Structure 1
Amino acid sequence: MAAAVLRGDEELLTGRWVGLVMLAMLCASCGNGDSMESIGGPTMGSTWSVKYVRHAGLADPAQVRGEVACILAEVDLQMSTYRSDSAIERFNALPANDCLAMPASVLQLVRVGEHLSAQSAGAYDLTVEPLINLWGFGPQGRAEKIPDPAAVSEVMQRVGYQHLHIDGNRLCKDAAVEVDLNSIAAGYAADSIAARLEAMGIHAYLVEATGELKAKGKKLDGSPWRIALEEPRDDQQVAERIINVDGYGVSTSGDYRNYFLQDGRRYSHTVDARSGAPVLHDLASVTVIHPSALMADGLSTLLLILGPERARDYAQKHAIAAFFVLRADTGFIIRTSEAFDQLAGAKN
């Protein structure tokens, strides 16, 4: 769960899935009637929050809260793997060679997942839910331990994005695959909330949905929204880099929040669909900055799966603003892509 701790004039907020810290100076009001509003609450096993500059005549916090609640309830009903009545879980329950009409938002995410899968040669794959459960990280997860190789081989028969296709408004499968949208659903939610704020005339905001961020404009005092990129530690919070964000989504994927240890090795919830196992390299976390929070969400997962060298090459090839943290015997090693250096330099 996320928790907020006030430290002087800064607010520190960490997400359950990501190593991000949002730094926002809070100002109650100004003489012209403008104010900084801050709302939030629980959602999907984690939290959400919105900070926005309210000018005279714009929506009050109760109105914004209601709009955000509607968006998050819809995302949960459509995309959650933790409720059997969600659209995606009803699809997952179908046998092979069947189809189900799906909301446009779900089809959008499946198309994004297909694109990321093709670009990563199948390392990133939305159909990994059976593997996530087998390794003990999903809603139907077993004990957190290394599963029997025979069990992995059996489950791998039900994994593969190539078994999915879209037919009009229907999602279809030619094998008994199960789709897990958790690697992009929160980013989609952050983008959706930001779009709703824009429609309400709110153009200066910081949105957080289960750790995924979207920021635009300036705070009430004219200063930028500032995001601190956190070291991938599970014992304390240490900000490694602080950046200004305006018009971008920010997402971090890491191996330090949800994992188990066995025989001295760390097995995280990030699974490589090609091997059927959690990643076992030295890349501890990846942060991606992208105009779309949805794409930042998916790309941070994709890069984490690829590992240190392939991820950096991928980021360079596709001009992705990425911040890498690697584990080493002496601590952590920081690497950045050229796009990240250009973006961070321009905004700080």
Structure 2
Amino acid sequence: MRRVLLPHVVADEPAPAGGVIRDFGGRSMGTSWSVRLVAAPEDACAHLQQGLQQQLDAVVAEMSHWESDSDLGRFNRAEAGSWRQLPPAFFDVLAFALDVARASGGAYDPCAGALVNLWGFGPHGRFDQSDFVPPSAAHISAVLASQPLLLEREGRRALQPGGVQLDLSAVAKGYSVDRLAYFLKTQGYAHCLLEVGGELRGAGVKPDGQPWWVALEQVADSADNAALQLDELVLALHGLSVATSGDYRRYFELDGQRYSHTIDPRSGMPIANDLASVTVVHPQCMAADAWSTALTVLGCEHGLRLAEQQGLAVRLVARRRDGGFTEHMSTHLRSMLDE
């Protein structure tokens, strides 16, 4: 059965008369990006390719934990006890990530990069290398005992207490989608569908007046990578963003045990709960991205409870002991169903 999700707020601005769809795309952050926009037939849009790529390159230069010369890389290597001035965008994304960390009780933490690295999901010491060994309890405890990062909001700077490794991978892609949308708006394009690494944001409508329809990601079976079909959910991505986290995306198996790439910052261990995937629908892609990770760590019961408290539109897919799946929706998402 095909179900439809509709936004609560619909803007009445039409697409340009006789508008045509123009497509752009490329590579960034180790993944692909794509943009579809509606332009007037006479518009010369070729310059947008470079402009869009430059926006993404700027995010990488500031916030990538894979690039040692990024602003984030330099912060991670900074001397203990030193204050570092951060670029405005980097500071704002980090401040938002820390707000989600507090609201989720630490289920998400942008300062958990050292734990991610220990488990082989960072840029070095990867789990797929022959000499990789899972961290010991002592190593994990040492990381968990590190001092917290401090922000000075007025001066837009952060204190490196020593050993803190920032990792914004659970928020930077979502932020980059928002940044692309803002860039296009400054160029006069308000009708578009944007995607970076699977995170999506839609604005306005297509030339035929239809919204940008997207199907919510299905859970994939790790055994054969085939989609395990729940009832399909299709979303009118109009003034909304969507992000999905899933335990089937990145993991490794060792001695018969499966280790997810999503780390619980509170325990220092890969998650091992009942959730297969979490999808968050939100006006801001950065928020959808961060919250999908936080709720994944919390598990179905606690994640759904927090989603209700935060007023988030969320779909959670939990694994059953018999091998099946159960879908749960927050009240806010259920109210979007066209029934």
Paired residues for 1:315-334 under 5 Å: 315-328=307-320, 329-334=322-327
Could you tell me how far 1:255 is from its partner in structure 2? 1.0
Larger relative strand fraction: 1
Which of 304, 311, 325 does residue 312 from structure 1 map onto? Answer: 304
Equivalent in the alignment of 1:175: 162
Which deviates the most, 230-239 or 173-182? 230-239
Equivalent in the alignment of 1:289: 281
Conservation of the 8 A alpha-carbon contact between 1:214 and 1:250: yes
Paired residues for 1:263-278 under 5 Å: 263-278=255-270
Q: 2:118 and 2:236 mapped to 1: Cα distance?
A: 40
Conservation of the 8 A alpha-carbon contact between 1:206 and 1:214: yes
Equivalent in the alignment of 1:99: 83
TM-score, normalised via structure 1 length? 0.85
2:138 is equivalent to residue 150 of structure 1:
yes
SS at match of 1:304: helix
Q: 1:137 and 1:237 mapped to 2: Cα distance?
A: 25
Equivalent in the alignment of 2:330: 337
Could you tell me how far 1:297 is from its partner in structure 2? 0.7
Equivalent in the alignment of 1:37: 22
Task: Supply the AA of the counterpart residue of 1:123.
Answer: A
RCO higher in structure (CA 8 A, sep ≥6)? 2
Which deviates the most, 321-330 or 163-172? 163-172
Task: Supply the AA of the counterpart residue of 1:201.
Answer: G
Could you tell me how far 1:57 is from its partner in structure 2? 4.8
Listed one character per residue, the Cα deviations across residues 44-83 of structure 1 (whole Å, up to 9, x for unaligned) are 11000001111145451x2221111110010010011111
Paired residues for 1:186-197 under 5 Å: 186-197=173-184
Q: 2:93 and 2:24 mapped to 1: Cα distance?
A: 27
Could you tell me how far 1:147 is from its partner in structure 2? 2.1
Q: 1:141 and 1:287 mapped to 2: Cα distance?
A: 30
Conservation of the 8 A alpha-carbon contact between 1:96 and 1:177: no
Task: Supply the AA of the counterpart residue of 1:302.
Answer: A
Conservation of the 8 A alpha-carbon contact between 1:107 and 1:166: no
Which deviates the most, 106-115 or 325-334? 325-334
Conservation of the 8 A alpha-carbon contact between 2:150 and 2:158: yes
SS at match of 2:38: strand
Task: Supply the AA of the counterpart residue of 2:226.
Answer: Q
Instruction: Return 5+ residue gaps in structure 1 as ranges.
Output: 1-31
2:124 is equivalent to residue 140 of structure 1:
yes
Instruction: Return 5+ residue gaps in structure 2 as ranges.
Output: 1-16
Q: 1:226 and 1:288 mapped to 2: Cα distance?
A: 16
Equivalent in the alignment of 2:194: 207
Q: Percent identity?
A: 38
Equivalent in the alignment of 1:302: 294
